[in-house]
Amino acid sequence: MKLPSVLRAAVLTLAACLSLPTAANADDGYVQLTIYKAGWIIGGNGGSGVLDFHGRRYSLSVGGIDYGLVFGGSRAVLRGRVHNIWRASDIAGPYAAGGAGIVVGGGVRGILLTNARGVVLELSGMQVGLMANADLSGLAIGIR
């Protein structure tokens, strides 16, 4: 007589597992960020952007700090995909990155960022200015 209760428990467990959200069910979006960066040993960055998600556009704010070898200033316009996003608010929060580079005039920039919710930003674009850096960066994105 225990077979029906074991079978029932197995079916309920399977149904619960199938209803859990997974990264495979998450969606993608598109983001464009304009980031200004300046510093002398300790630097800062700030800017704005736009998230396109499910046919709507969301204004973004960007800000953060840099620590390490940071000299100069630059402006980067980065575009790319946002992966593993359930709703627009998932993009908000802190991101950490390490990087190194030199920009004299202009150059190409690419970056891969992940936040605590598992949202992944794959960005690339152009950077202009006069900047040398080998630093750790903290970047926070917010929805306005």
CATH number of the domain where residue 106 is located: 2.40.128
**By C-alpha distance, which of 92, 84, 96 is closest to 144?**
92
pLDDT on residue 84: 95
Per-residue b/e over 34-45, b at no fewer than 16 CB within 10 Å? bbbbbbeeebeb
**Looking at the domain assignment, is residue 19 inside a domain?**
no
pLDDT on residue 82: 96
**Looking at the domain assignment, is residue 5 inside a domain?**
no
pLDDT on residue 1: 45
**Looking at the domain assignment, is residue 95 inside a domain?**
yes
**Looking at the domain assignment, is residue 6 inside a domain?**
no
**Looking at the domain assignment, is residue 88 inside a domain?**
yes
pLDDT on residue 24: 58
**By C-alpha distance, which of 54, 77, 33, 58 is closest to 144?**
58
pLDDT on residue 97: 78
pLDDT on residue 100: 75
Q: How many domains does the chain have?
A: 1
**Looking at the domain assignment, is residue 9 inside a domain?**
no
pLDDT in tens, 70-112: 889 999 999 999 999 999 999 999 998 777 778 888 888 888 8
pLDDT on residue 59: 98
pLDDT on residue 26: 83
Report field, pTM of the whole predicted structure over 0.85: no
Ranges under pLDDT 70 in the chain:
1-25
**Looking at the domain assignment, is residue 18 inside a domain?**
no
pLDDT on residue 30: 97
User: Where in the sequence is the domain holding 81, given as residue range(s)?
Assistant: 25-143
**Looking at the domain assignment, is residue 93 inside a domain?**
yes
- The secondary structure of residue 17, as a DSSP letter, is H
